Each structure stands twice: as C-alpha cells, then as structure tokens.
Amino acid sequence: MADLIRDFDWSATGIGPIASWSPVLKTAVGMVVNSPVPMTLLWGTDGLLIYNQAYAEIGGARHPAMLGRGVVESWPEAADFNRNVLRVVGGGGTLRYADQELTLYRNGAAEQVWLDLDYSPVRDEGGRVVGVVAIVIETTGRVLAERHLIAEHDLIAQMFEQAPGFMAMIEGPNHRLTITNPAYDRLIGRDDVAGMTVAEALPEAAEQGFVAILDEVYASGVPFAGSGVLFRVDDRTTGRIEDRYVDFVYQPIRDLHGQVTGIFLQGSDVSERVAGEQALRRSEVALQQALSAGEGIGSWDWDVVLDEVRADARFAQMYGVDPERARAGAPIDDFFGGIHPEDKARVQATIARALSGEGHFSSEYRLLQTDGGIRWVGAQGRATFAEDGTPLRLPGVTFDITRRKGEEGRQAALIELSDTLRDIADPGEIAFAASRILARTMGVSRAGYGTIDAAAETIGIAHDWTAPGAVSIAGVLHFRDYGSYIDQLKAGETVAITDVETDPRTAGTADALKRIQAWSFVNMPLLEKGRFVALVFVNHERPREWSEDDLSLMREFAERVRVATERARAELALRAANETLEQQVALRTAELAEKEARLRAIFETSFGFQGLLTPDGRLVDANATSLVAAGVTIRDVAGRPYWETPWFAATPGMADTIREGVAQAATGDVFRQEVLLKLPVGGWRWFDLVMRAIRDSAGEVIGIAPEASETTERRMAEEALRQSQKLEAMGQLTGGVAHDFNNLLTPIIGSLDLLQRRGIGGEREQRLVAGGLQSAERAKTLVQRLLAFARRQPLQPQPVDVGQVIGAMRDLVASSSGPRVRLEIAVADALPAATAEVNQLEMALLNLAVNARDAMPDGGTLTMRADTVRVAAGDDRVPPGAYVRIAVSDTGSGMDAATLARAIEPFFSTKGIGKGTGLGLSMVHGLTSQLGGGLRIDSRVGLGTTVEMLLPVAEAGAATSVDSAAEAPRSRASGRVLLVDDEEAVRAATADMLTELGYDVTEAESGPDALDWLGRRGFDLLISDHMMPGMAGTDVARAALTRFPALRVLIISGYAEVESVATDLPRLAKPFRATDLADAIAGLRE
C-alpha cells in the first residue's frame, strides 16, 4: 500500500506532491500505513482519502479508485454521514460510533454492514485542524452472530414456554426454582413457585423422596431419569390428593469450570399410559391426527448408546421404515436410507456435531417418498450427555416444510432464470438453460422446449436437459406415437399425465412412453395468434402427481422463455441487419407498432374493465368497455382521481373503498374485492375488482393497473340455483305429507257427505255437518295448493278456452273483490286454446284476484287480460315458443325489490298472521311450471303489480264444457265389490259409500287377505288402495286380473303421484265423495 501511495500523482489533488507535504501529514500517513487496523486519513476540507491495506480491504471494489478522492465522492451512499464527520471533527471535535449500521455498495450491490468508527482531528504546528484520522473496524460478522444468538435464545425460550412437557430450572444446593413452564405449573397446580425451593413449594415432593434425588444429582453430577414414577400432588384448589405418573430427567447444569450449579428438569405426565395400553393407543391416534392437521410429521428419540431410534408411525412411514420396527426401536441407519443421497452426508455431519458437544441439532433436508416424490422436512432436537460428555440420547421433532421449500425453490428458480436469460442471446441456449433450471427445481428426469409442426403433428427438440441415467429425446417426434392428446394441445390446453398406464389418453401407447422414460409428464403448449407453435415439457421416470404449483411454475417459465426467445430472435435479427440499419429500424418500428396495436386492441376489446392510474390514483387511460359503462369518453375522466370517476360516484361509500384500494396498490400490495356498483349504463352490477402495482426495472411503483371482471351473471345464477334448491326442498316436504292428509280427509269428507245427503239430524245438526264439510273441502283445496306448489299435483292437461274460463269467473271475482274494486276484463279475439286444467286454472286466477284485492285496501282497478305472445330464445324464465298470456293487474301498493324477490317462496306472505297462507303465488308458479309455461311478475311501489301466466298454446281446440248441473240422475247400482285398504277409517268410509250406491261390499285389510277372498267367492269389482304394507294395490290388481281377466279394477291412492300408480289401471285420487266414486266406477263400464 505504501508503494501505491508513493507512486500516486498527488500533484493532481489539493494535497500537492509528496515533496511538499508537511511533517504533520507525513507523520499521519506513516502512522496510518503502518497500522495493523483499518485506518484512513480524511485530509483537507474535502476529506481526501489516504488509507492503509486493511482499510482497502473494507473498500472492496472501490479500491484503489478512491485513493486521493474525497470521502463524500468515494462513498456517495453515506454522503450525509461523512459530511457530518468533516463538519464536527473538522471543527475540532471527535466522534465515535459503535456498531454503526450502513448500507454500502462497495462491490456493486447493496450490502448491510456494521462498523466501529473513531474519528479524531489532526492538527498542524499552529493547532489548526488540517485533517481527520479514522479508525474503521468492521463488526458485521460479530453483529450478525450476536443477533443469531439472540434469535436462537428467543427460539429456545419460546420452545421452553410452549413445550408440551413440563420443564423447570432449579439452581443451587437448596434447589431453588427459577423458571417453570406452563406445563410444570399445571402439573403442580400452581404458578407462583418461582424463587421458592422445591421443598417450600412442594412439601409432598420432599415427602416422596424427590428432593433426596435432587441432592444426589447435585452432589454427584450424574443425571437421573425416571419412567412412570408416581407423583402424588396436593391440589390446593380442591384439597384432594391426585396421583400423577411422570417420566422425567434431572439433568445437572455445569459452569465453565465443570461445577454443578443447578439442575434442569424435563418430563411428561404419562398418567394415561400407566392407566392402560388402550388409553395409550387413543392418545397416539389423537397425536397423529394433531400432527396431520398441522405441519408436524412426527417425533423421535434416539438412544445413542444402544443405537435405537423409537418413533411414531407417521415419522417411520415418511422415512420408509416399518412402523412396528420403529416403535420397538430401529438403528438410525434405517432412517438414513430415506434421506435424499445429496443431503445424507450433510445431515450426518450435523448430527455428529450435535453429539460432539454442540447439543443442538437443526437441519433441513429432503426425504424420498415411495411414490417417487420429494418431501422437505425440518428436524430439531437436543442431545443429552453423560458426565464425561458421552452422548446419551437425541430426541426431537420433524416438521413438514415442503410447501415453504417449494415456494422458496420456485422463487429462487425464477430469479436464477431471469439472471441467466439476461446474458444469453441464442434462442437454443435460452431454451436449454431454462429446461435445466426447471428440471432441477421440479426434480424431474427430463425437461425441454420444442417447436411444433401442427400440420404434421410433430415436435422438433434441438436440445433437452436430462438427469443422470435418463436418455435424450432430441430430434423429431410424432405426437400420435405417444397418445391421443395432440388435439388438446392444439386447443391450447395443458396436458398433465400422472401415470401413462392408467390415463386413457396414453394407456395404448404406454410402452412407447416408458421406453423414453416418461411414466408421467406435462406438456404445456405455447400459442401465437391462436396457433400451436411451441411446447414446454417435463418428463419423469416414475408415476407422479402434478400439483397446481408445478403447473404454475411451468406456465411462468414458458412465458419467460417465450419472451426471452422473442427478444433473442429480435436481437439476432437486428445484428444481422446492421448493413441495412435504416431498413431494419423501420421494420422494428413497424413490429413494435404492431405489437403496441395488438396490445391496444386487446386492451380496447376486452370484455373486462381495464385502466391505468398514476401511483397517486389519477386516471391515465381506460378501455372502451369501461368507458361505455360509464357513458363517458377518456377526455371526460383523464386526470381525475379514480375514486371520483362515474364508475363509483353513484355507489354510496365506494369512493372511500377505491381510495383505500389505490393506496394499498401503491405500496406494492394487490387489492382485490368483489364490489356492487351502480353504473350510469346498466345500473347495479357486480364486479371482481383487482388493482395491481406496475413497477419499473428498479422495482419502483410507476403506476397502478385496475381491472374489473363482471360477476353479475354468476351471482344471478348462484341465486337462481339457491332459489331452485329451496323450492325443491319445500316441494319434497309438501309432496311427502300429501298422502297422510288425503288419507285423513277421505273418511271425513265421505262421512260428512253421507250425513248431508241423508239429511240426518235437525236443522242445527245439518248446519254443523255443512260447516264441517265446507272446512274439509277447504283442507282438500289447501292440499291441492301445496301439491301445485310442489309440482306434484297430478294434472290432466287439455285444451282450454281461456276466454270462456275468465268470463265464467267474472261474477265470482267481482263478488270476491268487493264494491270498491272495479273489474275490467279484456280477452283478445280469436284467442287460441291453452294447454291447462280448468280447475287448477280457475284456482290460480282466483288466487291472483284475491292478492290483487288485498293490495288495494282503499279500492282500485283489477284488470284481467288474455292474449297471445311468442317468447324468443334467451329468456331465462320461459322456454321459447307460443303462449297464451293471462295477465292480472292491480293499481295497489306494489312490491319493493326485496319483497318481489321472495314473492313465490312458499309460506311467504305480507298480509299478516291469519290473513294468508303464503301459498297463492307458489301454487301459480308450480302450476305454470308443470304445464311447461312460466310466470312473470312486474311490480312498482305505489303503482301496482302485474302477474303474467304464460300457458303453452294447445295443438287442438278446446272441448265444449258440460254443465255439471245437467248431470242425469244416477240409477242404483248393484254387484259384489271387494274393497282393499289397510287404513280402517278410510276402508269403512269407502264401504259406506259403496253400500249406499247399492253394492254388496266385502272388506279386506291387506293384499294377501284380498287374494284369499277372490279365491273363495266371485266379485264384479275390485277397489284397492295403492300403498299398503307388504303388497301394493297394483300388485293385487295384476294378480287378480291374471286369475279373473273380466274383473273390473279401480286403484285409489292418497299419494300425489297418483298418475304414476299404473298407467294401464283406472285410478281415483283421495279424498273423494260418493259422487266421485260413482263416476269413477261408471267410467269402468264405458
């Protein structure tokens, strides 16, 4: 260094040539150069540097350029710091800094360093300060080591605090407790023993001999271990003595001179183990479940002297060791066999250091799995030693760190890829370098990049990377020789095969794939302008599950390789065109313009909302989709704060949300939230809004990219599905109870009908009978409404003249609505017949009319209209086709959005308790759905409601109605009837009806009973319930018809799906009156 100073041209500096140096300067320079510690002079007002060799080493790559230069210029990153030094020490003061932290760029990159710095003034003969002498000692290594020790101490303290076993530090010959962990406090039933001796804190421990053992360990220095030792604890909260069984170790603690100063107690409460083997097994299962729920793999305990490792089953399986062998104790070499060969020596060396005296063992390494995969684990343990230093045991715990290591590996791989590709100009070398990094990161046998001839369905591979022992497949390969997945690749789909033998796409070509050592693989296509042009692939020599992380890493590699390859090709093309530079520049400019145009086209044609903001949130650009939704041009909104733009202005509270999101994105974090926006065009709409930071090459945030994808349709679909599931569930409930209701109503209606027709009782009794029958009929109607809502009411659709039905109901609707409601009816001319059922249609219209009346308590206008309408494809509520539309409108209070959304829900009513069942609109909705039509509801608060029923147009004309009042009188019937029903009440009521009709009735309570009667006497008619225990009515009917083909049969059922009883057998649904039964029997004779 002295030679370098001597040969330096000092005349070019403010110091001047060496010959002119003052004695003070020469003396100071001599002191600095000859000092063994790093020193430098800061001479003159500019602090010109003159330093020794030790300081030069601290300067790194800045030496020797900084010799003779000012300290502020030489260390610009510490300019303010050094200016302060020149000011203070130049003024005659001194400065000293201990472990001063600085960020220096001494070797071209930012580096955190710590320094001890001493600055003193250098004075000339007249006492004037002419320079500063600095002693610079780098303490980076020590500071980092101390911080590591502090972190390790904190970790140990945390482990001590959180350890599941009990621990305590006991000091001195009196055995004073200094530290206890929560497990120890729980064991002894108190947490206030710190500072007390064991005998003071736990008299019972002294009585049981534990203090005597402590005395022996303290005196001899020999550890003591107890297994399953009984410790009788005095529970001071309950006053009871509790028996605890513990495993524990008294480990002597020695000072630097080897003298015992205390005892470390570590142990576990093993009362459950002592209680029995069964309890132990349950405990082990619970432990395994707990470990499986977190990141734990298992625990182990190595008896070093006996070379026996005892471990739980989960730990053993991960290392490839038989669990029973591990439970009994296996040599540690058995477990070393599961460690990756590249990691085994390092792990063994770490264990050796722990056993040689370090004690603490901590390592991270890979395990080979039976499925060919790799699992990363972190292991921690601490060895115990005999008095002479002989290692005795090494217990510990192993944790699964595969996910963390995988993420670290992927990030490191991407960084390495970026660094590697930066300096490569050849496209082939780019592909090979990327393949090498990708294969090493994913742990596969082969990786590569190939170009595609889509027409020939071939791939050309110039150079693939292969692991040791794997063969290269460089050359041209035909995809069809290796499976049927080429069409997926052409469509841009990634193909991931776990096992070529079991995947249907490769099972037929598995042998060919195995010959090239590709038992599993991933093929990821690269598309340009929609064309399949290149492929990134990885192969593995064994079956393997490909995770989403694997595919994500490959996609990132593929994109970066594509970009780097395009860059390399562009650079090669540019170098090749040096002689025609102007032409090439123009060509490149055109390409860039085209690329920019493509990007602009993508930006402008995107269905999502996209934009660009400054870091402080002002709008720079927005695509056409978003501008149309806001009803503005870019000139209207450019430069405005994003949260003040029309996209958010009409949504309460949204401006604050967007402002916070912009602030979050400006820090580099991603902001994402699903928002409901009221837009100038389209109204309320749902969006998935994301804002991401845009960074420059230095990593600084230079902009923010907001993007919003509309989720309105998905939200609506989810709501529709939820509504459908709710209606289906309610439908199943109502349909299920219909049978019981109908069975209950059949004897009630039949009996009351009989009493009424016979005129039994006086006027008062007949009035009661009429009231009861009316209530039963209302119950029957309610069941029908429930079934209509549930879409389980059996319908007999037929062509219906809707105009005639509405006209016939005019008087009923008018009387039901009352004098304050004006009724208007409008039926289109030549209205075609609709597919419907008259009774159900009348009930639906009456329900709608009653709802309209109730919505107009102060009176109004109720309008019933009928016309035709054609529904086009795309209506999500009604299938396309021609319909007869029946609209019922009122001028009442109307419904808000929340009420309208629930209008067709079963049992939902706004009429108050006792004023409605909540089934009216549900029944109408169920009816129209069963008929293949639909229901539309339009309502405005304060204006009224319109409900439209859309019924399919019938192919045939409506049948002419017959006045039921004109029915001819019935003649008395005769014949023998066999009646079968397992419900006694229903059977009795039906038998009375048949007897009154003139039939000779024989009753049977089951199918076998009925068949027995058929064998004993002849019958003209068999009437059987459908659902009966053991033998259904249809089975009875078919057995009877087989023996007596001329026998007439009628099936009755209380189930809603009566139509499904038997399509070839006559049926009658419960409940029914005698006239209904007579009509059904009369139909059998026709």
Residue 331 pLDDT grade (very low, low, confident, very high; cuts 50, 70, 90) = very high
Nearest alpha-carbon partner for 891 in 864, 920, 855, 866: 855
Give pLDDT tens digits for 534-556. 999 999 999 988 988 889 888 88
Please count the helices (runs of H) and the strands (runs of E) in the chain.
37, 40
Contact, 927 vs 804, CB < 8 A? no
**What is the three-class DSSP state of 1051?**
strand
Q: What is the mean pLDDT of residues 1-11?
A: 88
Scan for tokens 């829900």, then name that residue. Answer: 905
Give pLDDT tens digits for 67-95. 999 999 999 999 999 999 999 999 999 99
The answer to whether residue 968 scores a pLDDT higher than 50 is: no
Scan for tokens 């069942």, then name that residue. Answer: 917
The answer to whether residue 477 scores a pLDDT higher than 70 is: yes
Scan for tokens 């005349």, then name that residue. Answer: 11
- pLDDT for 786: 62
The answer to whether residue 486 scores a pLDDT higher than 70 is: yes
Which tops the pLDDT comparison, 964 or 745? 745
Q: What is the mean pLDDT of residues 1070-1083?
A: 87
Q: What is the mean pLDDT of residues 782-807?
A: 72
Give pLDDT tens digits for 803-828. 999 988 888 788 878 888 999 999 99
Read out DSSP for 432-445? HHHHHHHHHHHT-S
| 626 CB-contact burial (10 Å; exposed 0-12 / middle 13-18 / buried 19+) | buried
Maximum average pLDDT range among 364-373, 473-482, 803-812, 919-928: 473-482
Measured in whole angstroms, the distance separating CA 566 from the mean position of its chain's CA atoms is 36
Which numeric CATH code is attached to 719-780+971-1086?
A: 3.40.50.2300
- pLDDT for 731: 62
**What is the three-class DSSP state of 367?**
strand
CA–CA dist 1031, 1050 (Å, integer): 16
Contact, 1007 vs 1031, CB < 8 A? yes
User: What superfamily in CATH does domain 163-273 come from?
Assistant: PAS domain (3.30.450.20)
Q: Which fold has domain 426-574?
A: Beta-Lactamase (3.30.450)
Residue 834 pLDDT grade (very low, low, confident, very high; cuts 50, 70, 90) = very high
Contact, 121 vs 90, CB < 8 A? yes
For residue 548, what are the contacts with CB-CB under 8 A and spacing of at least 6?
none
H or E element: which one contains 258?
none
Scan for tokens 């939230």, then name that residue. Answer: 673
Q: What is the mean pLDDT of residues 611-639?
A: 91
Nearest alpha-carbon partner for 921 in 905, 943, 942: 905
The answer to whether residue 54 scores a pLDDT higher than 70 is: yes
Contact, 630 vs 646, CB < 8 A? yes
For 866-888, letters b (16+ CB in 10 Å) and e give beeeebeeeeeebeeeebbbbbb
The answer to whether residue 778 scores a pLDDT higher than 80 is: no
Which regions of the chain carry the CATH code 3.30.450.20?
A: 2-144, 163-273, 278-400, 612-710
Q: What is the mean pLDDT of residues 500-505?
A: 94
The answer to whether residue 580 scores a pLDDT higher than 80 is: no
- pLDDT for 409: 79
Say which range, 327-336, 671-680, 752-761, 944-953, has the weakest mean pLDDT: 752-761
Question: DSSP state, 355?
Answer: I
Scan for tokens 């005659």, then name that residue. Answer: 92
Give pLDDT tens digits for 170-190. 999 999 999 888 888 888 888
Q: What is the mean pLDDT of residues 840-862?
A: 88
CA–CA dist 1083, 1023 (Å, integer): 13
Contact, 397 vs 381, CB < 8 A? yes
Q: What does each C-alpha distance from 519 to 313, 482, 879, 1034 come to in angstroms?
A: 30, 11, 50, 59
CA–CA dist 950, 885 (Å, integer): 5
- pLDDT for 277: 43
CA–CA dist 724, 731 (Å, integer): 10
Q: Which amino acid, residue 518?
A: A
Question: DSSP state, 361?
Answer: E
CA–CA dist 239, 883 (Å, integer): 85
Q: Which two tokens stand for residue 265?
A: 């107690």
Specify the long-range contacts of residues 811-817, CB closer than 8 Å, at least 24 apart.
812/846, 813/845, 813/846, 813/849, 813/862, 813/864, 816/846, 816/849, 816/850, 816/853, 817/849, 817/852, 817/853, 817/862
Q: Which amino acid, residue 1048?
A: R
Which regions of the chain carry the CATH code 3.30.565.10?
A: 795-952
Q: What is the mean pLDDT of residues 717-729?
A: 66
| 214 CB-contact burial (10 Å; exposed 0-12 / middle 13-18 / buried 19+) | buried
Contact, 734 vs 786, CB < 8 A? yes
Which regions of the chain carry the CATH code 3.30.450.40?
A: 426-574
Q: Into which CATH architecture does domain 2-144 fall?
A: 2-Layer Sandwich (3.30)
Residue 784 pLDDT grade (very low, low, confident, very high; cuts 50, 70, 90) = low
Q: Positive or negative CA dihedral for 777, 779, 785, 791?
A: negative
Q: What is the mean pLDDT of residues 374-382?
A: 88
- pLDDT for 961: 46
- pLDDT for 747: 84
Residue 38 pLDDT grade (very low, low, confident, very high; cuts 50, 70, 90) = very high
Angle in degrees, CA 763, 766, 770, rounded to 5:
135
The answer to whether residue 162 scores a pLDDT higher than 90 is: no
Question: DSSP state, 471?
Answer: P
The answer to whether residue 860 scores a pLDDT higher than 90 is: yes
Strand 391-400 to strand 384-385: parallel, antiparallel, or no bridges (unpaired)? antiparallel
Measured in whole angstroms, the distance separating CA 191 from the mean position of its chain's CA atoms is 42
Cis peptide before 64 (omega within 30 of 0): yes
Q: What is the mean pLDDT of residues 409-437?
A: 84
Contact, 495 vs 459, CB < 8 A? no
Say which range, 620-624, 714-718, 744-748, has the weakest mean pLDDT: 714-718
Q: What is the mean pLDDT of residues 1003-1008?
A: 92
Give pLDDT tens digits for 198-255. 999 888 888 888 999 999 999 999 999 988 888 888 877 677 888 889 999 999 999 8
The answer to whether residue 724 scores a pLDDT higher than 70 is: no
Contact, 1065 vs 1049, CB < 8 A? yes
- pLDDT for 189: 83
- pLDDT for 964: 37
Q: Which two tokens stand for residue 1085?
A: 């004779």
Residue 779 pLDDT grade (very low, low, confident, very high; cuts 50, 70, 90) = confident
User: What superfamily in CATH does domain 612-710 come from?
Assistant: PAS domain (3.30.450.20)
Scan for tokens 């145009």, then name that residue. Answer: 597
CA–CA dist 87, 45 (Å, integer): 9
Q: Which two tokens stand for residue 274?
A: 């002592």
CA–CA dist 619, 329 (Å, integer): 69
The answer to whether residue 1048 scores a pLDDT higher than 60 is: yes
Cis peptide before 1045 (omega within 30 of 0): no
The answer to whether residue 788 scores a pLDDT higher than 60 is: no
**What is the three-class DSSP state of 36?**
coil
For the beta carbon of residue 72, count every other beta carbon within 10 angstroms: 18
- pLDDT for 420: 84
CA–CA dist 9, 456 (Å, integer): 72
Q: What is the mean pLDDT of residues 341-347?
A: 92
Q: What does each C-alpha distance from 586 to 573, 598, 874 come to in angstroms?
A: 13, 18, 50
Say which range, 449-458, 538-547, 588-597, has the weakest mean pLDDT: 588-597
The answer to whether residue 656 scores a pLDDT higher than 80 is: yes
- pLDDT for 769: 79
Q: What does each C-alpha distance from 739 to 736, 774, 947, 979, 1026 come to in angstroms?
A: 7, 20, 31, 19, 11
Q: What is the mean pLDDT of residues 32-59?
A: 91
Residue 792 pLDDT grade (very low, low, confident, very high; cuts 50, 70, 90) = low
- pLDDT for 76: 92
Say which range, 108-117, 794-803, 1065-1074, has the weakest mean pLDDT: 794-803
Let me know if domain 278-400 sits in CATH 3.30.450.20.
yes
For residue 67, what are the contacts with CB-CB under 8 A and spacing of at least 6?
4, 5, 8, 49, 50, 51
Average confidence score pLDDT of the chain: 85
Q: Which two tokens stand for residue 27?
A: 């003396």
CA–CA dist 85, 504 (Å, integer): 76
Give pLDDT tens digits for 868-884. 999 888 776 788 899 99
Contact, 136 vs 147, CB < 8 A? no
Say which range, 476-480, 691-695, 839-843, has the weakest mean pLDDT: 839-843
The answer to whether residue 113 scores a pLDDT higher than 80 is: yes
Read out DSSP for 650-682? TSTTHHHHHHHHHHHHHTTPPEEEEEEEEETTT
Angle in degrees, CA 1029, 1035, 1040, rounded to 5:
125
Say which range, 125-129, 278-282, 396-400, has the weakest mean pLDDT: 278-282
The answer to whether residue 18 scores a pLDDT higher than 60 is: yes
Question: DSSP state, 356?
Answer: I
Q: Which fold has domain 795-952?
A: Heat Shock Protein 90 (3.30.565)
For 722-750, letters b (16+ CB in 10 Å) and e give eeeeebeebbeebbeebbebbbbbbbbbb
Helices 838-854 and 810-817, packing angle to 10 deg: 30
Contact, 1008 vs 1017, CB < 8 A? no
The answer to whether residue 853 scores a pLDDT higher than 80 is: yes
CA–CA dist 1043, 1046 (Å, integer): 9
Residue 723 pLDDT grade (very low, low, confident, very high; cuts 50, 70, 90) = low
- pLDDT for 958: 62
For residue 807, what are the contacts with CB-CB under 8 A and spacing of at least 6?
825, 827
